[in-house]
A and B are shown apart, each in its own frame.
Chain A
Amino acid sequence: MAIKFEHVSFQYKSIDNKGYLALDDVNVVIENTGEFITLIGETGSGKSTLVQHMNALLTPSKGSMNILGVKISSTAKENKDVQFNPIRKQVGLVFQFPEYQLFEETVEKDIMFGPKNFGVSESEAKKRAREAINIVGLDDSYLSRSPFNLSGGEKKRVSIAGILAMEPDILILDEPTSGLDPRGRDALLEVFYQIHTSLNKTVLIITHDMNTVYEYAKRVLVMREGALVYDGDPVKLFSRKNIDNWNLDVPDIIQLKDALESNFHLDMSGTIRNKKALLKRLEEVLS
């Protein structure tokens, strides 16, 4: 079982009735376990639209999807018997804007909403809220606060906590690290990675941070103008010449590695995908 898109296109309705094609014939398969994927691409390329299809918040204008065994097509008639709730329970989606997700009086109620909605008991939901708030780096005192009276990064953390507390089978996060301070960014990426490794869950992250892609992703998807233009290995992606056309950038690690190699003739070959590995190598070649 997996999430499978077949020729999915999606058109937003607009006030001028022209419509706006945001997804253009997308074909992709995401396994329900064991994947760690980053989804990248220029502003407005369709990333948020694509992931909102993955838990059926949006349904295709053309083509069809199969989400964990449930078939969803492009006509309301064919979709009328689809049970959407189980899909949204299994596929957890953190929105790009936390404001779209926060609405309860307190942070605690907000985090409890998802689990309770999917059948978790009050006391269990409370327990999960406490755990989740700590996982995202906030202390218990935040539980009683209003989610609206928080800083931008704090809101982001609470919105992530709300989805973590649902314990979905597949975790999808739309720019989860934008607005986080650097330590928070690193800590949360580790959390997502841990969820992936220790529970063998599939995690998909949308990001504009090439370092995240290079350091964590096993697979990277690139979108451009509504189409999927790359699906594969991140290391290969960054060795290609056309990443400029896709508004991407070379990760800091690669830039530094290349610069050291060409200016100081240091041996930086092999896989060096994070800071730790880079520093270790430098120590070896310089001492």
Chain B
Amino acid sequence: MDTLLGDDILDMIEIKNLGFSYQEDGVALSDVSFNVEKGEWLTILGHNGSGKSTLSKLLVGLLRPSSGTITVDGQVLGEESVYDIRKKIGIVFQNPDNQFVGVTVKDDIAFGLENLQIPRDEMVKRIDEYANRVDMADFLEKEPQALSGGQKQRVAIAGILAMKTDVIIFDEATSMLDPKGRKTILKYIQKLNEEGVTVITITHDMRESVLSDRILVLKNGEVLKIGPTKDILLDKETLESSNLELLLPLEVMHTLEQKNITHPKLKEFLWQLSLNT
């Protein structure tokens, strides 16, 4: 890619013919191609073992592709560019334990900031701000290992948010949060996205996908479908073939249609309801 085009690049991430195999256990991803535009919010869905986490680890250079290329903000991901690219993409891992390096929650949030060489004053400010944002300000001196599951997830999220990267990947980052906590985090992700942050969320909770711009569905390591959120949310066949489900109001809509049961305005109503979950 011609770097002179710098400011004209519309795609934040461009993935071409990506393939990956873990040594012993066969192919985890094959011939995956898609783009993520700057400022876009993409949801990745797919059955257990479909390759979602593998894809996210490839994106931040934690795994090396067996084939194909990944381009981030005009830069091809490789041995030399990986450090630059990690400053642009933050990832909240599926298992928060894999994220923790510090002795205390505070150290942990600081760690990512130190890597970005954020000045001390600014660092202190951000630790405070983001610990508060995820409601963990009272736990700054605690060991991450001595937290509950949901508290660990909150800390992992704070650590990445504090880095203020251009792109953030959330790999099932809210799977252990209580309903209210989950909604708070989702609202905040929405706000970040509106401010221009490119967002990729990986989830099994269909309700979390409604706010995104597009949905990518993986199945057995391949792209089954990618399209506007609305289209995929209504695509019963695609969803079910990757062990997913229709949102409840849309399932109702689908069943009524199948049985030729109509009612004025009900369809539009169910659609609106599904967007509000």
CB distance from A223 to the nearest CB of B (A): 11
* A4-57 with Cβ < 8 A to chain B: 12, 14-16, 20, 41-44, 47-48
Please report A residues at the B interface, Cβ cutoff 8 Å: 12, 14-16, 20, 41-44, 47-48, 96-97, 99, 145-146, 149-154, 157, 175, 178-186, 208, 210, 244, 247-249, 252-253, 255-256, 259, 263-264, 275, 278-279, 282-283, 286-287
CB-based contact B259/A283 at 8 Å: yes
CB-based contact A151/B255 at 8 Å: no
B269 close to A (CB within 8 Å): yes
CB distance from A87 to the nearest CB of B (A): 24
* B232-252 with Cβ < 8 A to chain A: 240, 242-245, 248-249, 251-252
CB-based contact A175/B179 at 8 Å: no
CB-based contact B252/A278 at 8 Å: yes
B178 close to A (CB within 8 Å): yes
CB-based contact A15/B48 at 8 Å: no
When distances are taken between beta carbons in the complex, the residues of chain A under 8 Å from B47 are: 181, 183-184
Known: A99-B95, A153-B49, A154-B49. A286 touches B176 (CB 8 A): no
When distances are taken between beta carbons in the complex, the residues of chain B under 8 Å from A287 are: 259, 261
Q: List 21 A-B contacts (CB under 8 A).
A: A41-B178, A43-B148, A47-B148, A48-B148, A48-B149, A99-B97, A145-B24, A145-B25, A146-B24, A152-B48, A152-B172, A175-B176, A181-B48, A183-B240, A208-B177, A248-B180, A249-B179, A255-B277, A256-B248, A259-B269, A264-B263
Known: A14-B146, A41-B178. A182 touches B244 (CB 8 A): yes
How far is B243's CA from A278's CA once the two chains are assembled, in angstroms? 22
CB-based contact B255/A279 at 8 Å: yes
How far is B244's CA from A213's CA once the two chains are assembled, in angstroms? 20
- Nearest 9 interchain pairs by C-beta: A153-B48, A43-B150, A249-B179, A183-B243, A247-B180, A181-B243, A182-B245, A247-B178, A44-B148
* Beta-carbon nearest neighbor of B151 in chain A: A44
CB-based contact A286/B261 at 8 Å: yes
CB-based contact B180/A42 at 8 Å: yes
Known: A14-B142, A153-B48, A264-B266. A183 touches B244 (CB 8 A): yes
CB-based contact B24/A178 at 8 Å: no
When distances are taken between beta carbons in the complex, the residues of chain B under 8 Å from A279 are: 251-252, 255
When distances are taken between beta carbons in the complex, the residues of chain A under 8 Å from B251 are: 275, 279
How far is B149's CA from A99's CA once the two chains are assembled, in angstroms? 12
CB-based contact A43/B248 at 8 Å: no
A-contact 0/1 string along B171-185, CB 8 Å cutoff: 010011111111100
CB-based contact A44/B150 at 8 Å: yes
Quick one: which of A15, A16, A96, A149 contacts B176, CB cutoff 8 A? A96
When distances are taken between beta carbons in the complex, the residues of chain A under 8 Å from B252 are: 256, 278-279, 282
B106 close to A (CB within 8 Å): no
* Beta-carbon nearest neighbor of A48 in chain B: B148
Known pairs A151-B48, A154-B48, A248-B179. 19 more at Cβ < 8 A?
A: A14-B143, A43-B148, A43-B149, A43-B176, A43-B177, A43-B181, A44-B150, A44-B151, A151-B53, A152-B172, A179-B94, A181-B243, A183-B244, A244-B180, A249-B180, A252-B248, A264-B263, A278-B252, A279-B252
CB-based contact A15/B143 at 8 Å: yes
Which of B22, B143, B183, B249 has most A Cβ within 10 Å?
B249
CB distance from B33 to the nearest CB of A (A): 22
How far is B178's CA from A275's CA once the two chains are assembled, in angstroms? 23
Which of B146, B150, B177 has most A Cβ within 10 Å?
B150
B10 close to A (CB within 8 Å): no
How far is B23's CA from A146's CA once the two chains are assembled, in angstroms? 12
Quick one: which of B147, B175, B249, B263 contacts A178, CB cutoff 8 A? B175
A-contact 0/1 string along B13-29, CB 8 Å cutoff: 00000000010110000
When distances are taken between beta carbons in the complex, the residues of chain B under 8 Å from A183 are: 47, 240, 243-245
